[in-house]
Chain A
Amino acid sequence: MRKITNRSFSLLLIAALVICGMGFYLLEYVDRGQDWALYFSRVNSGSSGLLLDRNGQMLASFGQSREEFSLDAHVRTANYHVTGDYWGRTGAGVLSRYWSGMQDFSIFTGMTKTEDSVLTLSIDSKLNEYIYDQLMALGEDTKGLMLLSNYKTGEILGLVSVPSTDPLDTEAELKDGTYINRCLSASFTPGSIFKLITAAAALEQIEGINDMEFYCEGEYEIAGVPIICTGSHYTQTFEQALSNSCNVAFAQIAVMLGQDTMVDYVTNYGFLDSHELNGINTAAGSYPTDFVGDPELGWSGIGQSTDMVCPYAMLRFLCAVANGGELIEPSLILDDTEAESIRYMEASTAGRLKQMMNYNVVDHYNGEENFPGLKLCAKTGTAELGDGTSHAWFVGFLADDEHPFAFVTLVERGGYGLSTSGPIANNVLQWAVENIKVDKQ
């Protein structure tokens, strides 16, 4: 009998296989359960939903039979990185994040029936179309982005990343990086726009910085390593140094601040973190946090070295400066809940920086001619990529309570910030001032 009973353990082998199989299923369920559930449940649960822009323009909808997007291909393409798609090709779209939510799915409660769920975005799809056209006007192969938000409410009004594609056009030939949402999911060498951060740190940490003078003759050696400037600025104040975008001055300021202080500021301003924009995780940036020595520190203070900035993180910085140092967290979704706000920087720092950015435009960017009628505060950036090309940045905001817009414009390898991205920013801002109604607070 013992023979038989010993052999009975062979049954446990089958039981073990069953348990392994169930374990495997559970892992799969956690991993892919949502995709599975959504595939047919939409049809069978009777759920339907709509994704609208701030003006009620339909961007996407799903219902009993199929998922749909806007009827207009141009709207679809310009808004592709906002909507994303049902198939998860691009990761950072609203659909990828909210589609399940609009159908009330979670791994714990499963699908619960919802009818006519509507998600309204803060995005203005017409603005996106306009931005898209502006970027594409530079050429078919343009890579770039523009973000535009209301810094008083946190609403993101425009979000465009190119190259883009029509989500319904499955035959379209895709350019490299079409599925990347450049506004949220990428980070770039910032170049001179980074001087805003160095300047903010200096305003708070270096006593009498506003009265200091900096001397530039085109090149400056730190510990035997030259820092090259774009020109010779000779004697200049702090304010002039920013408008001159003087590398020599800002390399010196970074060294004066020291690496620890720089790292503190970059960290506190959230440039190293991934943020959550309505549940969409954004890309983290980078800054030399390990000890690098003064020459490298100098370069890092002017946005070169290993600095990388996610456009979305830059937008947060600009919104905070524009809003007196208080950041209303940006959001893509219009709802009644009160926007979260945080004290991002000292009000005085923000105020001074705002003045300086306005001085940039007035004094240096030929504001009246290039940006007619706009109370613009801005900073250009021409981020050297080491291969002779450079990213063309133009970032800033309108110091205008009627039109409280902050923006980030970037054309990858687009040349000079002011000449490439400046006109785009101007056109878009003019359009926005004209066409976007802002609720009075």
Chain B
Amino acid sequence: MEVFLEYVLTTSKFAVIILSILILARCLRSMLSEKYESEIWGHLSCEGENYTLTHWENLIGRSLSSDIRLCYPGVSRCHAVLSRNDRGIWKIYDIYSRSGVWVNGVKVGGSGAPVDTGDVINLGGLTLKFRDLTAGDMEQNEAVRTSAGLHVSPTVTLLELSLFQLALLLQHVLSADTEHIRSIALAFVALIALQWCCYSAMRLMNRSGFEVETLAFYLTSLGMSVAASSTPEDMYRQMLLTIAAVALFLFGGWWLRNLRRTMAFRIPVAGLALALLAVNVVASDAVMGAKNWLEFGGYSFQPSEIVKACYIYVGSSTLERLFFRRNLYGFIGFSALCVVALALIGDFGTALIFFITFLIISYMRSGSLGTVFLAVSAAGLAGFLAVTVKPYIAQRFATWGHAWEDVYGAGFQQTRAMSAAASGGLTGKGAGFGWLDDIFAANTDMVFAVICEELGLIVGLCMVAAVLVMAFFAVRSARHGRSAYYPIAACAAMALLLSQMSLNVFGSLDLLPFTGVTFPFVSRGGSSLISCWLLMAFIKSADNRRDASFAVRSARKLGGEEDEDMEEDADEYVNIAEGNPFIESWQEDEYEEDN
């Protein structure tokens, strides 16, 4: 019997490894082999030449990075932005050009001017004719594009993922105490059911891009495995949290479908983020290090995790707004407040993650390396202050790279993590068979080592690779974003997850100072899981392949005339806006800016 069980364990160990590689390879292949064709939203003709508008927001100018590049002496480097909103209304904005912009002979002011088919735009001594797409054109253009999931079937990938989860479950059944087997099995089965429900819903919506969700579910299953190893008594909670996180992800994706709504809520979301942090600052009583969670009747909750999603929501922006400097200043101010709040809480790791995300957002928004350098030097100064003021941070820096010199003191966690990770070898000891998960905070801060010990280095590397593949996916989708908001948000979300992962993995391996941040999706912790799934909504909203993402409205439906769905959204937006001081102030704000 024992020999047989040993055999089963070995088989399932190899199954986990092979399926991990297959799942990753399929997601990567799907990303590489599928054509990411641009959508077509309108046409501009100038001097007999025809320009296709492939985005909702198009920069017109002389510079190389313009979407409509007009190499004429009268045209400024960045001259105007021609943008379309959710309702299919096009507007042109003059972005501080030297010579101005005219539509049908009328000079365009600060608030932009609407343009429609047949309108004549004059800029820099050139005459441009604008033509919007009809519903028919739209239908035709869409028919030509390749839909997602054509080359690499997401159904098969999901089947592999399910097998992967079952193999993991099998190992836990072998290793867990009898009293916990039921709850562990239930949690895994619920996870499998959840992902198939999610997938079926997408197929019903006629959406076929499921790579991001697959990777997220893959990582979530690893997280489930860590939870089953370390806190099997808490499996029901983990299960409910996963369901809640996925539900919030779906909600987030749906919310981001409407750009106008999204933009309108930036100020309230910023307020929410600051309020959460403020509550945390007030309510926390930090003793020895960070206290970055709040407790409600036995349930703890980390505000800073939710603030991550809020931060990116607020930090991203549409193209025409990027050219007004004061918008960037507003964002810098908001970032500074967040980082200061985190510093007060003592959450050094999260502050660092926010900072890296800030760098990516501000670089993507401004394109100015100068701003980035300025920010880096400011942060260096702040970091220096933090190190001098907070002794435990200085100590972590002192330990960095010397963990083995103080195995029972400052290097306690890192050395155990490294030892456990190495003792797993390439194939691991089997889920639930490790010893590291008994160490304090192993299931959050040292989760890479837990996975390496129990499932082996190969799965550990797959886990890191999964996040990397998501990042490549975000970069790849960025090329075809409708509005600048989505690529900025997607890239910022991935920058956040990548830097968080690096701090977690390299911190536990003593290659970076140990900061105690979580590994996306895998580290145990409800707030962290929810925040990661929320961030996935940003990635989904940037995926513009034909009928790929539920977070992107089908181009066919958006073609030409306004659809009813849109109207409803617009009404809803007005309803929400009424009596909401944040939104009203935002509207005023925009009004001021426009004038």
Residues of A within 8 A of B (CB): 1-12, 14-15, 17-19, 21-22, 24-25, 28-29, 32-34, 36-41, 44-45, 105-112
Contacts and interface: CB of A to CB of B under 8 A. Distances in A.
Contact of B419 (A3, A25, A36): A36
B328 interface: no
A271 to B, nearest CB: 39
Nearest to A6: B65
Given A2-B59, A41-B423, A14 B356 contact: yes
A4 B425 contact: no
B364 A7 contact: yes
Contacts of B416: 40
Contact of A10 (B55, B360, B415, B427): B360
Interface string B403-447: 000010000000110111111111111000001000000000000
A36 B429 CA distance: 16
Contacts of A106: 425
B422 A4 contact: no
B55 A1 contact: yes
Nearest to A107: B425
Most interface-central of A5, A34, A37 (chain B CB within 10 A): A5
Contact of B425 (A2, A17, A110): A110
Contact of A11 (B423, B464, B474, B484): B474
29 contacts: A1-B55, A1-B58, A1-B59, A1-B481, A2-B67, A3-B65, A3-B66, A4-B478, A5-B481, A8-B487, A11-B474, A11-B491, A14-B495, A14-B498, A24-B511, A25-B506, A36-B415, A36-B422, A39-B407, A40-B416, A40-B419, A41-B423, A105-B423, A108-B427, A109-B427, A110-B428, A110-B453, A111-B429, A112-B429
Given A11-B494, A14-B499, A22-B461, A36 B426 contact: no
B103 interface: no
Range of interface residues on B (Cβ < 8 Å): 35 or more
Q: Which of B364, B484, B505 has the most CB of A within 10 A?
A: B364
Given A1-B59, A19-B468, A25-B509, A109 B422 contact: no
A9 B319 CA distance: 18
B498 A11 contact: yes
What does DSSP make chain B's interface, helix, strand, loop or mixed?
helix
Contacts of B505: 21-22, 25
A425 B66 CA distance: 91
Interface string B314-328: 000001000000000
Interface string B49-68: 00000110111000001110
Contacts of B427: 108-110
A108 B360 CA distance: 38
Contacts of B464: 18, 22
A47 to B, nearest CB: 10
A28 B419 CA distance: 12
A427 B331 CA distance: 88
A22 B466 CA distance: 13
B457 interface: yes
Nearest to B480: A5
B154 to A, nearest CB: 24
B364 A2 contact: no
B456 to A, nearest CB: 7
B488 interface: yes
B479 interface: yes
A9 B57 contact: no
Contact of A110 (B423, B468, B475): B423
A108 B472 CA distance: 30
A391 to B, nearest CB: 41
Which of A14, A32, A45 counts the most B-chain CB atoms under 10 A from its CB?
Answer: A14
Given A11-B494, A40-B415, A2 B422 contact: no
A74 to B, nearest CB: 31
A38 B419 CA distance: 7
A1 B506 CA distance: 35
A44 B58 CA distance: 61
Nearest to A44: B435
Contact of B423 (A24, A45, A108): A45
B545 to A, nearest CB: 15
A40 B511 contact: no
B364 A4 contact: yes
B502 interface: yes
A1 B364 contact: no
A11 B407 CA distance: 36
A211 to B, nearest CB: 65
B363 interface: yes
B463 to A, nearest CB: 11
Given A36-B418, A45-B435, A4 B426 contact: no
B235 interface: no
Contacts of A39: 407, 415, 419
Given A107-B425, A110-B423, A1 B57 contact: yes
